[in-house]
Amino acid sequence: MIRRTLAVGYGALAYAAFLAAIMYTIGFLANTLVPKGVDDGVTGPAWLAVAVDAGLLGVFAVQHSVMARPWFKRWWTRFVPAAVERSTFVLLSSLAVGLLLWQWRPLTADVWSVEAVWLRVLLWTVCGLGWGVLVLSTFLIGHFDLFGLRQVLARARDADYAEPGFRQPLLYRVVRHPIMVGFIIAFWATPDMTVGHLLFAGAATGYILIAVRFEEHDLRKSLGEPYERYARQVPRFIPRTRAVPEQVEA
């Protein structure tokens, strides 16, 4: 009983950490409503800021990609109960984001700064749409599974947990990685782009381009031909303007 309560509490804590990390990131990149935005913090030599920021992004990238691999999950569920494996991943990812935002060093030179009000409004709207696409997409493939809550609730009820499995709802019929498309849009759509923000957007986009290849490798391995067919029909990031005819089996 105590273990179950602890598991639910831990899952709730991890989910709260995720919510705090994503909401702070939104304010951080918009330089608004948070104490420290992407253009705030300790100033110093540019080379040092680039080195520190790249290191912080690297910590997140390694943590996030290594801990998401099936071989890693198989190994560490020998020590961590399976029911809280996802919550632990979510908690550590949120802490890595927290470290990144806390220790981020600004590079405040302007890359672009839009004056026209209509264009500023348009860019903020696109940015908001990016975050919206991201959140919606998490619900399309199982928001509460993705962030570990269903796993701990199943444990609390002593029920078996079944993963929601591979799905192709709505946006997943348009592109294979709508969550990542949402991130990319939100990272780049800003009326005021500084060198620091550009570094963040460029490095994070580069990471996404690599990370989805690892994810697809795992999906190909676990799903086989159905994923190959999906990949032939649905592009990674940029929607097709014309449908691809399904190949006739020989």
Ligand X SMILES: C[S@@+](CC[C@H](N)C(=O)[O-])C[C@H]1O[C@@H](n2cnc3c(N)ncnc32)[C@H](O)[C@@H]1O
Contact footprint for ligand X (CB under 6 A): 137, 141, 146, 166-168, 172, 177-180, 212, 215, 219
Nearer to ligand X, 63 or 168 (CB): 168
User: Least CB distance from residue 196 to ligand X, whole Å?
Assistant: 25
CA distance 116 to 61: 36
Nearer to ligand X, 65 or 103 (CB): 65
User: Least CB distance from residue 147 to ligand X, whole Å?
Assistant: 10
Taking CA atoms, 127 is separated from 83, 132, 133, 185, in Å, by 35, 9, 10, 6
Nearer to ligand X, 75 or 166 (CB): 166
Nearer to ligand X, 148 or 178 (CB): 178
Nearer to ligand X, 85 or 215 (CB): 215
- Long-range pairs, 16-22, Cβ under 8 A, ≥24: 17/90, 17/91, 17/94, 17/95, 17/98, 18/90, 18/93, 18/94, 18/147, 20/94, 20/98, 21/93, 21/94, 21/97, 21/98, 21/101
The answer to whether the beta carbons of residues 194 and 108 sit under 8 Å apart is yes
User: Least CB distance from residue 178 to ligand X, whole Å?
Assistant: 5
User: Least CB distance from residue 217 to ligand X, whole Å?
Assistant: 11
User: Least CB distance from residue 127 to ligand X, whole Å?
Assistant: 18
